Amino acid sequence: MVYLDHNATTPLGPIVLEAMLPYLRQHFGNAASRHEFGTLAGKAVERARESVAQAVNAQPTQVIFTSGGTEANNFFIKGMAESFRSAQAVISPIEHPCVMKPAEGLEKRGWKVRKLRVDGEGRVDMVDLDAALYEPTGFVSVMLANNETGVIQNIAEIAKTARARQALLHTDAVQALGKIPVDFHKLNVHAMSLSAHKVYGPKGAGALILDKRIELKALLAGGGHERGMRSGTLNVPAIVGFGAACELAMKDLEASARRMQALRDQLERGLRELGAVLFGANAERLPNTSYFAVAGVAGETLVVELDKLGFAVASGAACSSMKQGASEVLSAMNVPAEIAQGAVRVSLGKSNTKEDINEFLNALKAVLARLQRLTAMTV
Ligand SMILES: Cc1ncc(COP(=O)(O)O)c(C=O)c1O
C-alpha cells in the first residue's frame, strides 16, 4: 500500500515511539503525584511543553495540553462563550467541523455567528472581514491551513483587522504544524490549536496555545490540571510523543517542505495531463496537499478503485468522509456541485517517493480509462 492521506493522520515516527515507550512501561507515574514516579512523569511533561511551545515560538506557560485538535478548538470556542458576554463570533465557512459546530452552537447562547466569504481559491475575503467587524465581536476563528485544499490564510493580516476592533483571534493550526513555519507571535493571534497525530506524533494529544492574559473557563472541571483550565490526569506518553514529534518536525521543516513540494509538483503535472481540475492551486498552499477532480467521475469511486490498487487517498476531510454530499469547503469556494462531487485529496508525507507518484499516476490513468469505458458502454 502507498499511503497518500497524511492530512488525515500520519504514522507514528520511530524516534517518537522510542521516546514514548519508557512512559508506557516503567515511568508510569501520575504527573501530578509528589513522589519520584510522579516527578519523573511531571518533568517529562514539562520538557514536552517546552518543545511544543518552541515549535510555534510561544512560551511553555501558554501551552494547555488537550486530547487533540478537536478538544482544543471546542475548548477555545465554548470557553469563550462561558467566559465572555455574548457577542458576535466570526468564522470562515471552510473551518473544520470541530470549529464550525461549536461555533454554530453558540447561537443557542445568544451569540450571533457570522461566516465570512471566501474567494474561488478559498481565501478569506478581507473586505467582508472588515465589514463583519463593525459589529461588536467576541472572537474571530480562521484556520491557518485548510485540511482539504491546503490553502493558507493570511492570519497576520486578519489579526491586524481583528485587533483593531478589539476582537480575539483564534487559529486552527492543526494542518499547518510541521508543514510550514508556524509562529504564534508573528501571526499575532490570541489562541492556536495543535494536534500531535498530524506531525508523526500519537493520536489523542494536542494543545491550545493561549495568550497569557486570557483565562478560559474549563470544558472539563476536576482536579485543576493545566492551570485549572483542563482537568484530567495527563496522558504522559502521548504528551511526551507530541513533544518529540514537534522537535523532529522543526529540525526537518525546510528540507521536508522542499521535498514535498517537488513531489506535489510532479503529481500535479501528471494530474493536469489527465485532465484534472485542481482546487486552490493559485493560492499559497501547504506543500504536501493536492485536491483535484476529474469531470464526470465521483470522488468516492476513485477512492475505492485506487484503494483496490494499493493507494490510500481521501475524497475530502477524513472526519467528514462518512457524510454524504459535496465538500462544504468547495461549496464555499463556489465550485459547482457536479465538479465538487469528484474531489479527491492526495496528502503527501515523509515516506513518499517519486516512484510512488509515478505509480499513483499510472494507477489513476488506468482507473479513469476503465471508468470511461464503462460509461461509454452504458450510454
Ligand atoms: C484542520 C483540522 N482541525 C482539527 C482537526 C481535529 O484534530 P484531532 O484529530 O486531533 O481531534 C483536524 C483533523 O482532521 C483538522 O484537519
User: In the prediction, which pLDDT does 325 show?
Assistant: 72
User: pTM of the prediction?
Assistant: 0.97
According to the model, what pLDDT value does residue 254 have?
Answer: 97
Q: Which of 175, 179, 289, 328 to mutate to test the pocket of ligand 1 (most atoms within 8 A of CB)?
A: 175
Hey, which of 92, 146, 147 would you mutate to test ligand 1's pocket, going by the most ligand atoms within 8 Å of its Cβ?
147
Backbone angles phi, psi at 165, to 5 degrees: -110, 20
Pocket (CB within 6 angstroms of ligand 1): 68-70, 73, 96, 98, 143, 147, 172, 174-175, 195, 197, 206, 318-319
98 assigned to active site = no
Residue 225: phi and psi, rounded to 5, are -65, 165
Contact 236, 45 (CB under 8 A): yes
CA contacts within 13 A on the Cβ side of 213 = 3
CA–CA gap between residue 168 and residue 137 (Å, rounded):
8
| Per-residue pLDDT at 24 | 98
Lookup result for grid cell 517518537:
16
- Alpha-carbon dihedral angle through residues 336, 277, 143, 147, given to the nearest 10 degrees: 110
Predicted confidence at residue 326, as pLDDT, reads: 82
pLDDT at 164: 97
Q: What is the pLDDT of residue 319?
A: 42
316: alpha, beta or left? (left if phi > 0; alpha if psi -120 to 50): left
SS3 track for the chain: CEECECCCCCCCCHHHHHHHHHHHCCCCCCCCCCCHHHHHHHHHHHHHHHHHHHHCCCCHHHEEEECCHHHHHHHHHHHHHHHCCCCEEEECCCCCHHHHHHHHHHHHHCCEEEECCECCCCCECHHHHHHHCCCCEEEEECCCECCCCCEECCHHHHHHHHHHCCCEEEEECCCCCCCCCCCHHHHCCCEEEEEHHHCCCCCCCEEEEECCCCCCCCCCCCCCCHHHCCCCCCCHHHHHHHHHHHHHHHHHHHHHHHHHHHHHHHHHHHHHHCCCEECCCCCCECCCEEEEECCCCCHHHHHHHHHHCCEECECCCHHHCCCCCCCHHHHHCCCCHHHHCCCEEEECCCCCCHHHHHHHHHHHHHHHHHHHHHHHHHC
Atom of ligand 1 nearest to the CA of 195: 10
Per-residue pLDDT of the chain (379 residues; tens, 9 = 90+): 999 999 999 999 999 999 999 999 999 999 999 999 999 999 999 999 999 999 999 999 999 999 999 999 999 999 999 988 889 999 999 999 999 999 999 999 999 999 999 999 999 999 999 999 999 999 999 999 999 999 999 999 999 999 999 999 999 999 999 999 999 999 999 999 999 999 999 999 999 999 999 999 999 999 999 999 999 999 999 999 999 999 999 999 999 999 999 999 999 999 999 999 999 999 999 999 999 999 999 999 999 999 999 999 999 644 444 455 789 999 999 999 999 999 999 999 999 999 999 999 999 999 999 998 887 777 6
CB 221 within 8 A of CB 32: no
Residue nearest to atom 16 of ligand 1 (CA): 147
Distance 309 CA to ligand 1 centre (A): 28
> Ligand 1 mean position to 151 CA, how many Å?
15
Residue 13 half-sphere exposure, CB side, CA atoms within 13 Å? 24
C-alpha triplet 320, 184, 288: angle, nearest 5°: 45
Choose which residue among 10, 73, 195 to substitute to test ligand 1 binding: the one with the highest number of ligand atoms within 8 A of its C-beta: 195
User: What is the sign, positive or negative, of the torsion defined by CA atoms of 262, 266, 272, 278?
Assistant: negative
Answer yes or no: are the C-beta atoms of 211 and 221 closer than 8 Å: no
Measured between alpha carbons, how far is 69 from 256 in angstroms, rounded to an integer? 23
Q: Which three cell numbers stand for residue 161?
A: 483587522
Q: Which of 131, 319, 337, 369 is catalytic?
A: 319
What separation in Å is there between the alpha carbon of 301 and the centre of ligand 1?
A: 25
